[in-house]
Chains A and B, each alone.
Chain A
Amino acid sequence: MGSTQRMSNGPNATASPWPGYLDLVQSASGLALGLFMWLHMFFVSSILLGKDAMWTVARLFEGYFFFGRPYPALVSLFVASILLLLMVHAATALRKFPANTRQYLDLWRHTRQLRHGDTSLWLLQVATGFLLFFMASVHLYLMLSHPEQIGPFASADRVWSGRMWPLYLLLLFAVEIHGAVGLYRLALKWGWFAGPDPATTRRRLRRAKWLTSVFFILLGLATLAAYMRIGIEHAPHAGQHYVPAWSGEIE
């Protein structure tokens, strides 16, 4: 920043409020996505409680228990809003990406030189964020276009016979690292929970961040394994939907 660069705007200038709005939107969309990913993991991991449990959760989102019949379009609507949220978040977060070769080199050298935890985590956040662009979109489009195919067999068939498991495996790590680091950074950026002793808070937040990443990755791996096992068993009948033990009509 040399003295030749932009001087103050002067008394009559009005700076745009947009940088403020965008920072808020980036953080709010990150927060919403981060919290949603926690809920999402609990929903999909219902398979660990059994096929009936997962079937029930899937029907719940289709409004089955409110309207007496499933409306998969409700799922599409919900997925569309998540996709929109993701796009808004990606668009605002893109402002922070390095934008040219010099900036990439600067960031890379700086991070290697400094050996500083939170700086290295940011590089990881940029990298996982970039991967999420593609991986999250593939998953979301599938859910958007086939909302009726969410269920113990339909999902397991997609994972195994539809060969989605490699993507889901990578997506799991990317999301759980990116989300946890993002939520940690949010707390630091906005000074949440700072209290009278911010250094202790930061240490605690860092531990919480690692614990949540590890917890959700383990839960995710167990869940993915469960779908893969069902998918392998069900492969000869791939495409057939699950019928819960107590019901003969639905699916």
Chain B
Amino acid sequence: MSRRLTFDIFRYNPNDPKSRPRTERFTLDETEGMTLFIALNQIRDEQAPSLAFDFVCRAGVCGSCGMLINGRPGLACRTLTAALPDTITLMPLPAFELIADLSVNTGKWMRGMSERLETWVHLEQAPEIDALELAMEPEQAEAIYELDRCIECGCCISACATARMHPEFAGAVGLNKIARFRADPRDRRADPDYYQLVGDDQGVFGCMGLLGCHDLCPKKLPLQTQIAHLRRGMLKSALGKS
């Protein structure tokens, strides 16, 4: 007993002068275990060959298929149509540059953020490539890995009222990266250094604690506690206590 699904999909190609932003409606029969990835491919194959959307891994790993699903950010490849009502509205993630239809340039945004927040390990000295890497406590490695699971899908940015109002806000993805390097003993930076990067209203003090990011992160990263922890650390820095 399969449902007939109705898709209202945002269509607009900014590079085509004739294109106007609009919503197009498609219908198709739901199949067993159908994800939005399967549905979108079927629509593109059978009804709208020009429909633009991004996928790479189809397994919630690459972070390219984020979109607004009935108004809430999520990964299309990890969303079963069975979990959605008969009518499904798909929109591109807001806060990112639109490429076309459902495809947005999260990569450009993430790169800007990474450069600004210097999201790489700052070693004490140049690594000795011949030497054996220093061992790390398994718990410590676990803690870092937990935060490293971020796939840069951008859902936390689109779920954040602060990021929507203030395009220069680093967002949960950026703050989580800082938390990740703060937890890494190989990184020589200390809190006063991190304060230079996120100790302002574009950084951790801009976060209002609405937790859209935490609730909608498809990888279930512990953003709530990480941001709170970072906020306390950065406040200590401001007060000159670290």
Contacts and interface: CB of A to CB of B under 8 A. Distances in A.
Interface of A: 1-9, 13-24, 95-96, 98, 103, 106-107, 110-116, 118-119, 122, 185, 188-191, 194, 198, 202
B197 to A, nearest CB: 6
Nearest to B174: A1
Interface in B124-170: 159, 161, 164-170
Contacts of B216: 116
Contacts of B108: 2-3
Interface of B: 68, 71-72, 94, 108-109, 111-113, 115-118, 159, 161, 164-171, 195-197, 199-203, 205, 207-212, 215-216, 222, 224-225, 228-229, 231-232, 234-235, 237-240
Contacts of B225: 191, 194, 198
A119 B212 contact: yes
A15 B196 CA distance: 5
A113 B68 contact: yes
A20 B241 CA distance: 12
A111 B118 contact: no
B165 A98 contact: yes
A1 B113 contact: yes
A22 B118 CA distance: 25
B231 A3 contact: no
Given A6-B116, A107-B161, A190-B231, A20 B169 contact: no
B113 A119 contact: no
What are the 8 closest A-B residue pairs judged by CB atoms, nearest first? A20-B238, A191-B228, A189-B209, A113-B71, A17-B238, A3-B112, A19-B200, A103-B165
Contacts of B113: 1
Contacts of A112: 71
Given A15-B196, A114-B72, A115-B72, A7 B115 contact: yes
A111 to B, nearest CB: 7
Contacts of A4: 112
Contacts of B196: 8-9, 13-15
Given A194-B228, A202-B224, A24 B235 contact: yes
B81 to A, nearest CB: 19
Contact of B234 (A18, A20, A188): A20
Contacts of A6: 116, 168, 202
Contacts of B171: 1
Given A17-B199, A118-B212, 18 more contacts: A1-B168, A3-B116, A7-B116, A8-B115, A8-B116, A8-B118, A9-B197, A14-B196, A15-B200, A17-B237, A20-B234, A22-B205, A96-B208, A114-B71, A116-B210, A119-B210, A122-B208, A122-B210
A107 B222 contact: no
Contact of A118 (B72, B165, B210, B238): B210
B169 A16 contact: no
A152 to B, nearest CB: 42
A2 B109 contact: yes
Contacts of A190: 228, 231-232
B109 to A, nearest CB: 6
Given A1-B113, A198-B222, A23 B212 contact: no
Nearest to A1: B112
23 contacts: A3-B111, A4-B112, A5-B168, A6-B116, A6-B168, A6-B202, A8-B116, A8-B118, A15-B196, A15-B200, A17-B238, A21-B239, A24-B238, A107-B165, A110-B161, A110-B164, A114-B72, A118-B215, A122-B161, A189-B207, A189-B209, A189-B228, A194-B224
Given A8-B197, A20-B237, A118-B210, A1 B164 contact: no
Q: Which of A3, A22, A103 has the most CB of B within 10 A?
A: A3
B169 A1 contact: yes
A191 B68 contact: no
Given A15-B195, A190-B228, A23 B209 contact: no
Given A8-B116, A114-B72, A20 B170 contact: no
Contacts of A122: 161, 208, 210
Contact of B199 (A15, A95, A98): A15
A20 B205 contact: yes
A111 B161 CA distance: 8
A188 B199 contact: no
A191 B214 CA distance: 13
Contacts of B197: 8-9
